[in-house]
Structure formats: structure tokens, C-alpha cells
């Protein structure tokens, strides 16, 4: 009976109950059921709301490289020695610009990474690997949450057990 109720609760949370069944179930919800639904909702948000860096979609390297190359191209149609020399100087300047630009891009990327994933080598990390987990009379869930004080240094593990009714 307990397992059937748990299954119905899960189906209710997933929106799989028919409207009549849903209404009937909602009328019979206990305080414990509401707590479990709240926990399910939070866990769902935790899984679904993983952060992705917006910078992954920004091609800084490509944009700066394109501009640097455009600035280093010699004028079209130039054939004289002076033009060739100028082209050489322009190419050299372009290489310096390109090198400088590349350095700036790398520095910016490194700064962005450090900002998003700061390293705190002097504080303990909460790395935890669950090697075995057995429960009786309960359901266990292993939850990994971001190490909020030190994002980027790994996750913190929570072994969540929910006792059977």
C-alpha cells in the first residue's frame, strides 16, 4: 500500500494522473505528502537548473582574430618594393597585433575562468566518492550539490535517506 502510494505520488508530481484522479489525490494529500512533493520539486530544480557559462557561446578568439587579420592585410594592388616593404612591415605589425591580441584573449579567458571557477587551494575540498550504499526500510539518494563557498572546487555529497512508511 505504501509503495502504491509512493508511486501515485511520483505520478502526481510528474503530471501523469488523469484530471479526476489528480483532483481526488490532491484532496487526500497529507502534510507528509506535501513535504515530499516539496523535496521532489527542489531536487528536480537542482538537476534541471545546472549552470552553463554563457561564455561558452561567445567566440572571443574568432572575433578578435578576424579583426586583427583585417587590420594586417596590405592594400590591394600594391606591387612596388616600397609596397612590398610596407606589406612586410604590416605583416610584422599584424603578427605583433595578432600575438598581442592572442595574449589578451588568453588573459581574458583565464580571468573569466578564474572568476567563474575560482580556485581555493588552501581550503579543504568535499570530494566524496560513494563506493557502496545499502539501505533497508528506506530509499537512498545520493545528491551532489555545488560547493557554494568555493564554486569550481567540486561538489558536496549528501546521502539522503527516506524511510518507508
Partner 1 sequence: MRGSAVRQGRSVRWSMMIAVGAGLLAGGVARADNHLATCSVRMIDALHEPGGVDPRITVLRPYLEQPPFTAWKSFRLVEEKTFTIAHETTEKFTLPNGSQASLTFVEHMLRPDGKHRLRLRLEIEKRAQKVLDTTFVLDEGGVVLQAGQKHGKGLLVLGFSCAIPNG
- Residue 143's DSSP bridge partners are 158
In the complex with partner 1, the residue whose CB is nearer, 19 or 121, is: 121
Note whether 51 binds partner 1 by CB under 8 A. Answer: no
Smallest separation, CB 12 to partner 1 (Å): 17
User: Residues for the chain: how many in total?
Assistant: 165
Note whether 10 binds partner 1 by CB under 8 A. Answer: no
Note whether 30 binds partner 1 by CB under 8 A. Answer: no
Note whether 125 binds partner 1 by CB under 8 A. Answer: yes
In the complex with partner 1, the residue whose CB is nearer, 83 or 126, is: 126
Taking each helix axis from N to C end, the angle separating 60-72 and 81-116, rounded to the nearest 10 degrees, works out to 160
Q: Which three cell numbers stand for residue 93?
A: 605589425
Q: Which of 58, 55, 74, 70 is nearest to 101 (CA)?
A: 70
Q: Which of 60, 61, 68 is nearest to 97 (CA)?
A: 68
Note whether 134 binds partner 1 by CB under 8 A. Answer: yes
Note whether 145 binds partner 1 by CB under 8 A. Answer: yes
Q: Which of 12, 38, 10, 40 is nearest to 25 (CA)?
A: 12
* CA angle (150 as vertex; 144, 154 as ends), nearest 5: 35
Q: Segment near partner 1 (CB under 8 A), from 35-43, 58-66, 74-82, 86-94? A: 35-43
**25 alpha-carbon distance from chain centroid:** 36
Selected from 26, 35, 63, 110, the binder of partner 1 by CB under 8 A is 35
Please report, as ranges, the residues that interact with partner 1 according to CB under 8 A.
35, 38-39, 42-43, 45-46, 124-138, 140, 143, 145, 147-149, 156-163
Amino acid at each position: 500500500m505504501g509503495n502504491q502510494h509512493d508511486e501515485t505520488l511520483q505520478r502526481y508530481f510528474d503530471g501523469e494522473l488523469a484530471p479526476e484522479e489528480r483532483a481526488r489525490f490532491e484532496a487526500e494529500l497529507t502534510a507528509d505528502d506535501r513535504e515530499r512533493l516539496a523535496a521532489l520539486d527542489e531536487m528536480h530544480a537542482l538537476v534541471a537548473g545546472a549552470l552553463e557559462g554563457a561564455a561558452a557561446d561567445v567566440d572571443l578568439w574568432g572575433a578578435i582574430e578576424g579583426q586583427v587579420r583585417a587590420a594586417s592585410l596590405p592594400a590591394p594592388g600594391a606591387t612596388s618594393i616600397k609596397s612590398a616593404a610596407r606589406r612586410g612591415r604590416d605583416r610584422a605589425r599584424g603578427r605583433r597585433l595578432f600575438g598581442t591580441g592572442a595574449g589578451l584573449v588568453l588573459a581574458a579567458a583565464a580571468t573569466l575562468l578564474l572568476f567563474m571557477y575560482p580556485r581555493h587551494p588552501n581550503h579543504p575540498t568535499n570530494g566524496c566518492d560513494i563506493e557502496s550504499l545499502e539501505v533497508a526500510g528506506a530509499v537512498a539518494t545520493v545528491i551532489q550539490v555545488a560547493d557554494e563557498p568555493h564554486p569550481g572546487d567540486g561538489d558536496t555529497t549528501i546521502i539522503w535517506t527516506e524511510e518507508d512508511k
